[in-house]
């Protein structure tokens, strides 16, 4: 092959490769979560492109990445977590990233004046405690009312006609953004409650959904109005039957059968 033709072919191959990488580059959106719920200000770093982001108070984040980039999630209270961007992650509408608490174990410590060891089973009998006092035990009004989260409180303030920023919030689009975020959070919270009913191993074995696709499958269920009605019924057998039906379509759409 002539040298000029060989060079031309090489440039074309390089151009196609770079073009494919560009196509696969997109903004990943998702949320980190943990058992204690304290996920604010978690650092999200794309160490491949040296781009960084930080989660908001509820753990939501967005960061640009492409195929095979390495994303690192880190915070003082959590174990460092690294993920390599896959095609499935790029195609996913929303990512849910679990974080594990960083546990620093200490040698036995004696706490004076109660001679506590830190072992709850041994210390429980050493301390005399009174009854737990809560709003419900005191029969206070609204003791069982669910308190709004931060985003809901922000929306209440933004839509308060007495606020000096009421008109500005409406014109700037802040009110609309807050309403959308509240909707996303409620839908996410409901999906998480449903997922807590069933072990991941059960979803994998009975519904044949791969473990790394469970989050995407739950979102696939959530957008179905029939599934929403099943969830509102709070009937776990009915919810599971709906998940079983949705799993058939999900596996077919994703070539899992």
Distance CA 60, CA 160 (A): 25
What token pair was written down for 7?
A: 């060079």
Other CB atoms within a 10 A radius of the CB of residue 133 amount to 8
* Three-state SS at 231: helix
Block residue for tokens 């195609």? 91
Question: Phi-psi bin for 162: left (phi > 0), alpha (psi -120 to 50), beta?
Answer: alpha
* Three-state SS at 91: helix
pLDDT at 83: 92
Distance CA 190, CA 86 (A): 27
Q: Where are the domains of the chain?
A: 25-98, 198-253
pLDDT at 113: 53
Q: What is the dihedral of CA 24, 27, 33, 39, to 10 degrees?
A: 140
pLDDT at 24: 65
- Taking the whole predicted model, whether its pTM rises above 0.75 is answered as no
Whether the bond between 162 and the residue before it is cis, its omega within 30 degrees of 0, is no
Where is 48: in which H helix or E strand?
none
pLDDT at 61: 93
CATH, domain range 25-98? 2.60.40.4130
Whether the bond between 113 and the residue before it is cis, its omega within 30 degrees of 0, is yes
Cα four-point dihedral sign 23, 86, 213, 255: positive
Decide: 44 and 71 in contact? Cβ < 8 Å: yes
Decide: 114 and 127 in contact? Cβ < 8 Å: yes
- Tell me the β-bridge partners of 62: 29
Block residue for tokens 């807050």? 178
Per-residue pLDDT of the chain (257 residues; tens, 9 = 90+): 454 555 555 555 555 455 444 446 788 999 999 887 788 889 999 999 888 888 988 889 999 999 999 999 988 888 889 999 998 888 888 999 999 887 765 555 555 555 666 666 666 666 666 666 665 666 665 555 556 656 667 667 767 777 666 667 677 777 777 677 666 666 666 677 777 788 888 899 999 999 998 888 888 888 788 887 888 888 888 889 989 999 999 999 988 87
Distance CA 252, CA 245 (A): 11
Decide: 43 and 75 in contact? Cβ < 8 Å: yes
**CA atoms within 13 A of residue 105's CA, in its CB half-sphere:** 3
Closest CA to 11 of 24, 19, 21: 19
């Amino acid at each position: 092959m002539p040298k000029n033709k060989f060079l031309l072919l090489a440039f074309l191959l390089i151009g196609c490769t770079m073009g494919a990488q560009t196509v696969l580059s997109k903004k990943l959106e998702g949320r980190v979560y943990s058992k204690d719920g304290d996920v604010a200000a978690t650092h999200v770093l794309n160490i491949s492109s040296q781009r960084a982001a930080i989660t908001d108070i509820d753990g939501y984040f967005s960061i640009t990445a492409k195929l095979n980039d390495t994303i690192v999630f880190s915070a003082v209270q959590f174990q460092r977590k690294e993920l390599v961007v896959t095609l499935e992650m790029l195609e996913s509408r929303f990512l849910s990233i679990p974080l594990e608490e960083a546990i620093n174990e200490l040698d036995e410590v004696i706490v004076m004046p109660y001679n506590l060891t830190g072992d709850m089973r041994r210390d429980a009998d050493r301390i005399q405690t009174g009854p737990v006092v809560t709003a419900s035990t005191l029969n206070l009004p609204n003791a069982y009312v669910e308190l709004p989260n931060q985003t809901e409180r922000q929306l209440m303030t933004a839509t308060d006609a007495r606020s000096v920023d009421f008109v500005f919030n409406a014109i700037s689009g802040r009110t609309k953004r807050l309403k959308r975020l509240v909707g996303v959070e409620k839908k996410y919270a409901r999906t998480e409650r449903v997922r807590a009913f069933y072990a991941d191993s059960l979803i994998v074995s009975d519904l044949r959904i791969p473990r790394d696709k469970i989050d995407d499958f739950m979102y696939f269920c959530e957008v179905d109005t029939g599934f929403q009605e099943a969830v509102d019924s709070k009937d776990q057998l009915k919810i599971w039957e709906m998940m079983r039906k949705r799993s058939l379509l999900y596996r077919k759409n994703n070539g899992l059968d």
